[in-house]
Structure 1
Amino acid sequence: MGQPLLHHLQKVSALGIIIAALLPSMASAKAVQLHSPDRQIHIQLTDDNNQAHYQVNFDGKTVINPSKLGMVFKQLGRIDQQLQIVDVTTHSNDSTWEQPWGERQFVRDHYNAMTVKLKHNELVFNVEFKAFNDGIGFRYHFPKQAALAQYTTLDIIEELTEFSLPDAHQSQAWWIPGRGWNRYEYLYQHTPVSKVDRAHTPFTAKLSSGVHISIHEAALTDYAAMVLDQRRDGTFRADLTPWSDGIRVKTKPGFTTPWRTIQIADAATGLLNSDLILNLNEPNQLGDVSWVQPGKYIGIWWGMHINENTWGSGPKHGATTSETKRYMDFAAQYDFDGVLVEGWNIGWDGSWFHNGDVFSFTQSYDDFDLLKVTEYGLKQGVRLVGHHETSGSVTNYRNQMQDAYDLYQQHGVTQIKTGYVADGGDIKRVDENGVVHHEWHDGQFMVNEYLYSIQQAAKRGISINTHEPIKDTGLRRTYPNWIAREGARGQEFNAWGTPPNNPSHTAILPYTRMLSGPMDFTPGIFNLAPEGLDAVNRVQTTLTKQLALYVVLYSPIQMAADLPRNYVERLDAFQFIQDVPTDWQQSIAISGEIGEHVVFVRQNRANNDWYLGALTNETPRSVDVKLDFLDSAKKYQAQIYRDGDKAHWLTEPYDYVIETKAVTAIDTITLKMAASGGTAIRFKAL
C-alpha cells in the first residue's frame, strides 16, 4: 500500500494544504502534516512504532509534545498498538456565518483540514484534524464496518488521548479540580503545570515559551465530558467521566467523539478573541430563532441569598404575586425585559436540597398566581422569567418536563432558568426498573439529559439558562435557545461563600471559563457589604468593577442582581446598567494578562455605540487604551464610570466618579483602576 499512499500524499502537498511524506529514517513509519491558513500552527501525526502520536508547533515553538491517540473498548480491548496510517483526505474552508445573537454578528470559519485513516488489524477508524489560525481541533470517528458487524453496542472503557505540555515545571496553569463535589464552582488555582492534578476544561496555560494555550472540547453530545488527568509531569490524559457502573461511554459502531480543542495564541488576549469552539459546532438546527431574545432582567433572587427572603413558603416568602408585581413595576420603569422568580412552585419547604423528588413544576404556592403575574407583566411590557430547580432529581424533572414547559408556554414565558443543585456524582437517575443510580453532572447520561431539555424547550419557543450545568462546548451555535449557563463560581458566593470570590476571580474567568461560552454570572451588586465592610462574606470589588462585568463577562442575558432599592440609591451609576446592551456587533479584547486584568470593547449590534469594560485584580493599575476601534468618521461622547482617587475594594468600594469627555478614534484614554477596581465606558456616537 506504500506507493498509492505516497502518491496521494504528494498530490495533497501540491495543493498547499498538507505537507506529508514518508519519514526517511524508517521506511515503515509515516507522517502527515497540516498547517493553519497563516502557517503559524503546524500539526504532525505519525505512526512511528505502530502507535499514533500527534505534535503541535506554533510559530516554531512546541506547544504539544508528541502525544498518544487511542481508545480502549470493553468489546475490542486497546486500540493504540499495531496502528498504521493507510489514507489521508484533505479540504479547506474560508466562509463566514451569522450568529442570531452573540458577541459578534459574523464569524469567519477559516481552516485547513485532514482526515487520517488509521488501521488496527482489521479495524479502521479516522482522526479528523482542523487547523485554524487560533488553534486546532481533532476528533475520532469509528465508522460501521465488517470488523464491527457483530457488535450492536460498544462500551468505551478509556480514551487514551494525551496532551503533553512542554516544560511543565516552568509553564503556568490556571485550573479548577475536575470531578469534585462542587461541580465547576471553585476558585481557580494558579500553579506550575506540573502541580496540576485532575482539572476541568477549559484548562489554560502560559507555556515557558510565552505561548498561551487552552485545552477544551467542542460539540459535546452523546458522550462523556473530558477532564484532564496529569500522568507524568506535563502529560495529561483525557479522563472521561464515568457512568455509575464505571463505563465511560455507551455507544455503537458509527459514532463520532466531540472535538478535542487547543486554542493557541502568542498573547493572553488572543485566547479571548478566538472563535474556535463555535466554529467546531454544527450550524443552527432550529430554523427561525427570532423568538430567542437577548436582554436584561432583574429577579427575586439576591434577597434569598442574603437571608432577607426565603425560597420556601412563610412570612418571608419571596416569590409572591405582590412581590413579583413590585419587581415588574421596577423593571418597566427602568427598561428591563424580565423578572426572574425563584421559589414560586411547591417543593421548597424542608430539605429540598437533598430531595428533589418533592418538587412540582406545575403547582404554585397559594401566594403566587402564575396567570395574574404573567398578565400583569404583559401589560407592563415585562416578561416573567421562569425557574425550575431539580435538586439533581432529573427523573422527577423529566417526568414533569413536558407539562411544565407547556404551562409556561401557555402563559407566555419564553425563558427558563433551570437548576441542578446536587453534589458532583449525586445526580439521581431512576431506571425503568425503579432502581436508583447516582450520576455525574458531566457524564454521558447528563450530557444527553441537558440537551433533551433544550430540545423540548425549543419545540415550545422557550430558551434555557442552565445553572449547575454541563460545561459549555459551543452548542449554542447548534441550539441558539441554549442562551446561557452558569458553570463557575458566580455572584452568590459573595453572599455566603466563605471565602467569597477573591479580587482575581473575575480577572481569571475571561481566560478560562468564558472561553467556552456565555456565563450567567449575575453582576451588578451595589450594596457590596450588606453585613458591613469587615464581614467575611461580601463582594470584594469596587462598585465600578461591578459595572465593568457587564462588558467583560459576556452573556446575551444579563441580570441586575441586587435589590431594587439599592439601585434607587445610586441611580447615577445604575444608568450604565440601563444603557449597556447584551447583543453585540463585534467584540475585541485589547489588553490583559491572566488573573491580572482585562480590557474588552464591544460594539452595540443596534447602533454605532461602543462599550468598554476593564477590571483588575487586587493590584491597582493604569492601562492606556487606543480608541482606534471607534469609527474614524464619527465623534463620540465617552461616558466614563471609574474608580475615585480613594477607591479600594476593602475600605472605599463606593468611591466612584462619573464624567464625560469628547473623543475620536485618534485619541488614547488612560484607565486608572483601584485595587479590585474597574472602569466602564459608553462611547456614544454623536
Structure 2
Amino acid sequence: MLARALILLACALPAAAQASTRECAQSPGKVLELCVSVADGRAAYAVTRRGTPVISASALGLAFAGEAPVRWTALTDPQRSDVDRRWEQPWGEQREITDRHTEMRLRLEGDTPLNKSVVLTVRLFDDGVGFRYTYDAIPAGQAVDVMADNTEFRTVGDHQAWWYSAWGQERDEYLYGQTDARRITTAETPLTLKRQDGLYLSIHEAALVDFPSMLLTGDGAGTLSARLMPWPDGVAAKKTGPFTTPWRTILIGDTPGALADSRIELNLNEPNRLGDISWFKPGKYVGVWWEMHLNRSTWASGDRHGATTANVERYIDFAAAYGFSGVLVEGWNVGWDGDWTNNGDAFQFSTPYPDFDIAALAAYGRERGVNLIGHNETAGAVPNYERQLEDAMAFYARYGVHEVKTGYVRHSGDIVDADGGRQWFAGQYMVRHHQHVAEVAARNHIAIDAHEPVKDTGLRRTWPNMVSREGARGQEFNAWGDPTNPPEHLTILPFTRLLAGPMDFTPGIFDIPRGGAPVTKRVQSTLVTQLAEYVVLYSPVQMAADLPENYLAHPDAFQFIEDVPTDWETSHTLQSEIGDYVVVARQTRGGQDWFLGAITDENERTLSQPLSFLDPTKRYEAQIYADGPDADYRTHPMSYVISRKVVTSADTLPIVMKPGGGLAVRFRALP
C-alpha cells in the first residue's frame, strides 16, 4: 500500500521535481532535433537533421576558478514552448523578420558550488539552433571568475572548412583558407563547414554582451571546442551572479545561401531598446579616405593634409551633385602626426586641426543636404578614448553628425588598458568598451560604424545604432596589401564574415589599373565586380570609396552606384558555391525595384538565373552592367557593356562573368 502511494505521489509531482537523463526538442517543422543528456558525470547535447546526426554528444557548461571539474548529476524541470511571430527592422537586409522556433529550458545539476544548478535554454529553428547558460543560482553580487567554456561541437562526418588562424596581430583582417576541418588549430567565428554529403554548417554566437568572444579550437579529429579570449591574468570572464552567457549558434542548411539567408542571429537578440531611431538614415557616402591609402594626401597635418576645409567642401559638392547623403572625413582631429599607431594617447577627439573648420563644413553640407560622417581613430588607446567619449559624442551632435566611424589600429595589435595590461581586441574588456561606445553614441543620436571591432553577433537588433562593422580584410588591402585581395575573397565573405552581420567593405573602386600596377598590388577584379559588391556585400552604409574624378571618368557605370539603395525589403541568395561564385538579389525597401549582384572567382563562369523572385504581375526594365567580351581582372579589368531589355518573372537571365568578374542589374518596375 505504501509503495502504491509513493508511485501515485511521484506521478502527481510537478515537472520541476522530476529528474531525467535525456530530454529532446524538435524545430517547428521537425527538421532538427536537439537532445540533452546526463550520463557518467557528463552533460552533453546532440543535433540531428531529418534523423541524420550532425553534432554528436558534445560537452556543455563553464569552468570556474577555485573549483574542480564538475560532474553533472541530473536534468530537471524541462519546459517547452513554441514561438511564431514577426517583427520589423528599422533598417536592414530584410524589413520583416519571422521568428519561428521551439524553446526548451531545463536545469543541469552538478556537484560543484557554482555549477550546482544551471539553466540551459535551447532554441530550435528549422535552419539552426542556439543555446545558452544562465547561472541563476549564483547569489546576486557574488564575483566569479570563468576560466573556460567547456562547450564542444563534435561534428559528424568529414568537412571542408573556411577559416583563418585566430590570435592574429591584424585582428580579423586575414584571407580565408579552405582546408580539411581536421586541420583547424584555433579559428575565429563564424566558422563555416561543408560536409562530404553537401550539408553546410556555420558555428558562431549571438548576443555577445559582457563576455569574451568565442574562438574554436580543433583536436585534429573533428571536435571543435570553445575557447574564450582571456584577460591578461588568464581569467576568461569576470562576472557577478547571476548571469547569462551569449548564445552558441549552429546554422545548418543544404546550400551556402541557406546560411546567408538565415535570420537566427537577429532572432536570438533582444528587441530594439532605442525606440525611434529615425535620426539614422541608411545611405551611401563618399569621403576623404581612399586618397590617403593611395598616399595622395596624409592623415597627418602639413602641406599634404587631406582633411582640409577646401578638400572636404569638394567632396560635399560631389556628394550633393550625385545624391550621396554623407561625407566621411578622416584625419581631421589632433593626434595624427608622427607614429600615431603607437601613440594613441595623443588623439584629441573634439579638437580639429586649424585647417579643418567643422562648423563651416557642417553648415555647408546642411545647405546641400549632405551630412558629415565623423571618425574617431583610437590607435588602441582605449582609456584615452573613454576619458573623452562623452565630450566627443556631444561635440559631433552639436554639428548634426549622426554617424561616426571608430577605429582601433595599433601596430602591435594589442589594446592597452588603464593599468598597462595588454588586452585582446575581442576579450571581455573590449566587448564592454564597444557596448559603452554604442550606448553613449545612442544618447547623442549617433550611429557607430566600428572598424577593427569585436565581431558582430546580431546586437544591431537591440542597439540599432550599431549599424555596421569592418572585422575582415576589406577594400583598403587593395591599396597597399601584398598581395591584395584575390578574386575568390569576395565569394567567401558572404558565407563567413557576413553571416555575423553587415560589413563596411568600402566598395566601388573604378581606377583598377592604377597606372599599370602589377595585378597583385591593385584591385583584383573587373569594374563590374565593383558594382556588384553593393548588392552582394550587405551594409546599411555603403561607401563609394574611389576618388570623385575616377567616377566622373565612367559616368555610365557610375549610374549603378547612384541608383543602388542600401536598405532592403527582402534579400535572397539565389546561387552560390563558397569560394567560386555568388548571386544575390535584393528588393528596394518600400519599393518595387530589384537589384542583382553576381561575382565569380578567378575563373570565367556562365550561369542561368530564373527571375522567379520578381513580381509575377509586373514587367521590368533590366538595366544590365556586364563584363565586356575581353574583360579579365588581370588584363582588361575596365571592359564592360551596359544593355537594357524588358523582362518578367517567367524569364531566365544569362549571367556571363569573366575571370575576376561579375554582373550588376537593376530591375526597374515598369508602369
TM-score by length of 2: 0.96
State how 1:268-667 maps to structure 2 within 5 Å: 268-422=256-410, 426-430=414-418, 435-667=419-651
CA separation of 1:538 and 1:32: change in aligned 2, threshold 3 A: same
Give CA-to-partner distance per residue, 1:29-52, whole Å, 9 cap, x none. Answer: 711111111111111111021211
2:244 counterpart letter in structure 1: T
Which segment drifts farther, 407-416 or 114-123? 114-123
Taking the aligned partners of 1:184 and 1:369, their CA distance within structure 2 comes to 35
CA separation of 1:390 and 1:665: change in aligned 2, threshold 3 A: same
Is 1:161 matched with 2:162? no
Is 1:227 matched with 2:218? no
SS where residue 417 of structure 2 aligns? strand
CA separation of 1:83 and 1:497: change in aligned 2, threshold 3 A: farther
Query: Contact (CA 8 Å) 2:406, 2:450: kept in 1 or not?
Result: yes
Taking the aligned partners of 1:166 and 1:291, their CA distance within structure 2 comes to 48
2:36 counterpart letter in structure 1: L
Partner of 1:16: none
Query: Contact (CA 8 Å) 1:63, 1:207: kept in 2 or not?
Result: no
Is 1:51 matched with 2:51? no
Is 1:213 matched with 2:201? yes
SS where residue 204 of structure 2 aligns? strand
2:25 to 34, 58, 74: 34
2:212 counterpart letter in structure 1: A
Taking the aligned partners of 2:7 and 2:559, their CA distance within structure 1 comes to 70
2:149 counterpart letter in structure 1: E
Is 1:181 matched with 2:169? yes
CA separation of 1:657 and 1:29: change in aligned 2, threshold 3 A: same
Taking the aligned partners of 2:14 and 2:33, their CA distance within structure 1 comes to 18
Give CA-to-partner distance per residue, 1:549-569, whole Å, 9 cap, x none. Answer: 000000000000000000000
Taking the aligned partners of 1:11 and 1:348, their CA distance within structure 2 comes to 63
Taking the aligned partners of 1:109 and 1:4, their CA distance within structure 2 comes to 40
Query: Contact (CA 8 Å) 2:170, 2:413: kept in 1 or not?
Result: no
Taking the aligned partners of 2:222 and 2:388, their CA distance within structure 1 comes to 46
Percent same amino acid at aligned positions? 48
Partner of 1:25: none
User: How far apart are residue 166 of structure 1 and its match?
Assistant: 2.0
Which segment drifts farther, 227-236 or 258-267? 227-236
Which segment drifts farther, 382-391 or 176-185? 176-185
Taking the aligned partners of 1:678 and 1:600, their CA distance within structure 2 comes to 11
TM-score by length of 1: 0.94
Partner of 2:135: 142
2:531 counterpart letter in structure 1: L
1:236 to 224, 228, 243: 224
Give CA-to-partner distance per residue, 1:401-455, whole Å, 9 cap, x none. Answer: 111111110011110000011257610111xxxx311101110010010010000
CA separation of 1:5 and 1:522: change in aligned 2, threshold 3 A: farther
SS where residue 326 of structure 1 aligns? helix
Taking the aligned partners of 2:228 and 2:376, their CA distance within structure 1 comes to 28
1:166 counterpart letter in structure 2: V
Query: Contact (CA 8 Å) 1:533, 1:651: kept in 2 or not?
Result: no
SS where residue 488 of structure 1 aligns? coil
Query: Contact (CA 8 Å) 1:303, 1:309: kept in 2 or not?
Result: yes
Query: Contact (CA 8 Å) 2:282, 2:540: kept in 1 or not?
Result: yes
Taking the aligned partners of 1:8 and 1:536, their CA distance within structure 2 comes to 73
Query: Contact (CA 8 Å) 1:84, 1:119: kept in 2 or not?
Result: yes
SS where residue 651 of structure 1 aligns? coil
Query: Contact (CA 8 Å) 1:638, 1:681: kept in 2 or not?
Result: yes
Query: Contact (CA 8 Å) 1:297, 1:558: kept in 2 or not?
Result: yes
Partner of 1:69: 60
SS where residue 654 of structure 1 aligns? coil
SS where residue 317 of structure 1 aligns? coil
User: How far apart are residue 346 of structure 1 and its match?
Assistant: 0.5
1:336 counterpart letter in structure 2: F
1:140 counterpart letter in structure 2: Y
Is 1:673 matched with 2:657? yes
User: How far apart are residue 72 of structure 1 and its match?
Assistant: 1.0
Taking the aligned partners of 1:624 and 1:523, their CA distance within structure 2 comes to 26
Query: Contact (CA 8 Å) 1:5, 1:86: kept in 2 or not?
Result: no
State how 1:120-139 maps to structure 2 within 5 Å: 120-121=110-111, 123-139=116-132
Unaligned runs of 5+ in 1: 13-21, 23-27
Taking the aligned partners of 1:5 and 1:414, their CA distance within structure 2 comes to 63
Taking the aligned partners of 1:58 and 1:626, their CA distance within structure 2 comes to 29
Which segment drifts farther, 572-581 or 172-181? 172-181
1:87 counterpart letter in structure 2: D
Taking the aligned partners of 1:10 and 1:541, their CA distance within structure 2 comes to 64
Taking the aligned partners of 1:552 and 1:341, their CA distance within structure 2 comes to 26
1:388 counterpart letter in structure 2: N
2:109 to 119, 128, 132: 119
User: How far apart are residue 255 of structure 1 and its match?
Assistant: 0.5
SS where residue 653 of structure 2 aligns? strand
2:142 to 148, 152, 158: 152
Is 1:100 matched with 2:90? yes
Taking the aligned partners of 1:96 and 1:66, their CA distance within structure 2 comes to 33
User: Across the two proteins, how many residue pairs are aligned to each other?
Assistant: 661
